Amino acid sequence: MKKNKIIFVACDTSNINQVKKILKDTTNKNLKIIPKFGYQLFYSKNGRRFLEKFKEKYFLDLKIMDVANTAISAIDSIKDLKGCEYTTVHAHGGFKMMRSVVQKAKVTNKKLKVLGVTILTSLDNKSIKEIGHTKNINKLVLKQAGLIKKSGCYGIVASAHEAKIIKKKYKNLFTITPGIRLPGDKKDEQTRVVSPLEALYKYQSDAIVIGRSLTRNNIKKNLKKLIDHLNQ
């Protein structure tokens, strides 16, 4: 595996002891692994306190989406989190909101990289039609990618199925792919799922987010399975 590829491990729990176990058991000098924390941890009292003291760099997946003034207040509220290197805004909040968040991040925390989230990997074309979209997922994500790029976001979060078309048009846009499962693992609620190898090499993602395939059951065993998979 190329050293510049990043693996974000999703620590999707509010249990601090479990978070610490995930961090410990996924430590590996041959992989560039960065923890990703989401709602479960951030919205819990003990979780917020844990992140205040956590000094290593991490990805805080907030999917900020609101009117611009409220969205930039969210960035203000995390300026004490010194280890936070990545956070997310949702493209559905629009260009003005995303640009405002990027500009605010430059003032409050210059190292904070803002990522634009597109269509969730749990949705498919039927799902987005139910919401009211008339474009298919590929076209919609490519449209969102243009706004994310224009807003000044550091990167984009999109399914691997869209990553290749994003890279073709926006070569330098850092692309992160969720919806990752090791071969043979359950999809759970995900619909647009690929393996780590497919995401990083076939679809040209710069980074992947992997959760349950790595953190469910025996983490060390799962990590070895991931390493063997990437070394194929």
- Active-site residues, by number, are 63
Residue written as token pair 């992997």 = 210
Distance, C-alpha 214 to centroid of its chain: 15
DSSP calls for 175-211 = EEE--B--TT---TT-SS-B-HHIIIIIS--SEEEE-
Are residues 199 and 175 in contact, defined by beta-carbon separation less than 8 angstroms? no
Sign of the Cα pseudo-torsion (161, 40, 35, 210, in order): negative
CA distance 73 to 222: 39
